[in-house]
Amino acid sequence: MDDFVNYLVDSRLPILPLKKDFKIGCIGAGFIMKDCQIPAYKSAGFNVACIASRSVDKTREVASVHNIPNVFNSIDEMLEKGDFEILDIAVPPEAQPEIIMKALERSKKLRGILAQKPLAMDLDTAKKLVNASRQKSVTLSVNQNMRFDQSIRVAKTLLNSGKLGDIVLATIEMRAIPHWMPWAQGLKSLSTFIMSIHHLDTFRYWFGTPDRVFASTTKDPRTKFSHSDGINLYILEYESGTRASSWDDVWTGPAKEGAGDDIYIRWRIEGTLGLAKGTIGWPKYPEKSPSTLEFTTIDDNGKWHSPKWAEVWFPDAFIGTMAQLLRAVESGTEPEISGTDNLQTISLCEAVMISASTHQAINPSTIIGSI
């Protein structure tokens, strides 16, 4: 079993491309780009060649911090004149589709795009982006970065090994308080497309797209602007018998209002032959807190195994999201988190919202239609 545990630990790391010097052009100069994506790329030896954002001052600041050689005064200028092969986008979701379409039309050397999640705030727009990228022979991928959280990655390897047997129940329990960005106000969805999308995509990564979704949402008392989906509860049903459920609790009690806090994200997978459980270290950011995993199986005398690692979700997981795109461009294959694959995740988000508003079970396949 020690050899298997070592194999699990090794599987937390993404496979890097053979060619690391693809020229990456970055759009966006906010937290996720400055503190997560670019530091991850630099640590992996990727080539960040240029940057632009809506704010020239922020762009220059990020370029200075990370020694990015080429700074553009506007996004349009970079799309027209920038020397890059891979476009990395980190902007609010409502601004992203227009940038992707412009890049496909204007960027002469473009070979791949890493878009933020959500790819779009509705399925029709997301489909248009996928089809337009396909027509231009540009590889489109989506930054579903929780797939590269180390415990989520290792859990997938454990599932693939069969050592847990048939999966009976999987759960994610989030008790954490997000920092909603100003752009979240006015969107058709708050938690579903911004927070729950992580967990919905993780369940898809682990088990595939479910056959039915039951959801209930209610408002977050702390969030003052208008919204419907603050606290999200949902159950995913699979014809195999597997059930998956998440409690996405962005309230967690009045921790910010003076009460004590109890903040965490925990996951659990129960199978017929074994049990795995873990925690996500992200709520402790900027403290460097690795996510955890431990498991037990019926053929190992009840022993619990607890593999360890030093890497964390923010920023280390972002090596993986870029690496899987670069490898796809390098080999001419579909990326692991392709735009086409991500349409299934967006359909799950839509199913959650429809189920919550109609109080009915929703089959995501009836939403996605043809691709």
pLDDT value for 95: 97
Domain 147-313+345-358 indexed as CATH 3.30.1180.20: no
Query: Please, which pLDDT band fits residue 371 given cuts at 50, 70 and 90?
Result: low
End-to-end C-alpha distance for the chain, whole angstroms: 43
Which H or E run includes 332? Answer: none
The CATH 3.40.50.720 portion of the chain extends over 12-145+320-336
Per-residue pLDDT of 137-161, as tens digits, reads 999 999 999 999 999 999 999 999 9
The CATH 3.30.360.10 portion of the chain extends over 147-313+345-358
Fold of domain 12-145+320-336: Rossmann fold (3.40.50)
Per-residue pLDDT of 302-330, as tens digits, reads 899 999 999 999 999 999 999 999 999 99
- Residues counted in the chain: 371
pLDDT value for 368: 83
Query: What is the DSSP secondary structure assignment for residue 270, as one 8-state letter?
Result: E
The pLDDT of 350-369, averaged and rounded, is 94
- Judged against a pLDDT cut of 90, whether residue 297 lies above it is answered with yes
Which H or E run includes 133? Answer: helix 123-135
Q: How far apart are CA 37 and CA 42, in angstroms?
A: 9
For the ranges 51-60, 179-188, 324-333, the lowest mean pLDDT is seen at 179-188
Per-residue pLDDT of 101-112, as tens digits, reads 999 999 989 999
Within 180-274, where are the H helices?
Answer: 191, 197-207
Q: What is this structure's pTM?
A: 0.96
Q: Is 137 exposed, middle or buried (0-12, 13-18, 19+ CB in 10 A)?
A: exposed
C-beta separation of 62 from 29 below 8 A: yes
Residue in the structure block whose two tokens are 């089959």? 363
pLDDT value for 236: 98
How far is the CA of 105 from the CAs of 110, 171, 179, in angstroms?
10, 42, 34
